[in-house]
Amino acid sequence: MDKIATCLWFDGNAEEAVRFYTGIFKNSSIGDVTHYGDAVPGKAGEVLTITFQLEGREFVALNGGPQYKFSPAISMFVKCETQDEVDTLWDKLLEGGGSPVQCGWLTDRYGMSWQIVPTVMMKFLTGKDPARTQRAMQAMMQMVKLDIRTLEAAYNQE
């Protein structure tokens, strides 16, 4: 178990969300599940927390109630090696009511913000040639889902 894990606050649908997320990422698992009891406010027997892993990172899902909502101020940043991986994750995370945003961002049906980013984009943004980096950034700003070929074409344009 990691020393630090990210806790995600849900309004009664933590178990559903965890099953959704672990069904998308290949290297994932569900761990311990705790339930509300008599000593904790909430309906006795319902899920309180679920630990789970996505790609080796540990999370805790908490059914805390309606007091707090997710915001784009914190997002899941997913590094993708191929366009197929970008496309697959993008489509799966949008299933059931998610919304595309811009520049590789989307919001899933639970309100969680995700950035689905090809690893090559980080190379472009940290490149030594500012003109190439600027072209890649401008191309990215025009996109919703990121497209590697278009980004590469912008970066390599002379």
Q: Please report the domains of the chain, with CATH numbers, ordered by start residue.
A: 1-68 (3.10.180.10), 70-158 (3.10.180.10)
Residue 44, Cβ neighbours under 10 Å: how many? 10
Residue 135, Cβ neighbours under 10 Å: how many? 18
3-state secondary structure of 81: coil
Taking only the tens of pLDDT, the chain with its 158 residues reads 679 999 999 999 999 999 999 999 999 999 999 999 887 777 788 999 999 999 999 999 999 999 999 999 999 999 999 999 999 999 999 999 999 999 999 999 999 999 999 999 999 999 999 999 999 999 999 999 999 999 999 999 96
- Rounded CA separation 122/150 (Å): 15
* Residue in this structure with the two tokens 């990215």, named with its chain if needed: 140
Is the Cβ–Cβ distance between 76 and 115 less than 8 Å?
yes
pTM above 0.75, yes or no: yes
Write the DSSP symbol of residue 143: -
pLDDT value at residue 40 = 73
Going across the sheet that includes 105-107, the strands are: 75-80, 113-118, 105-107, 99-100
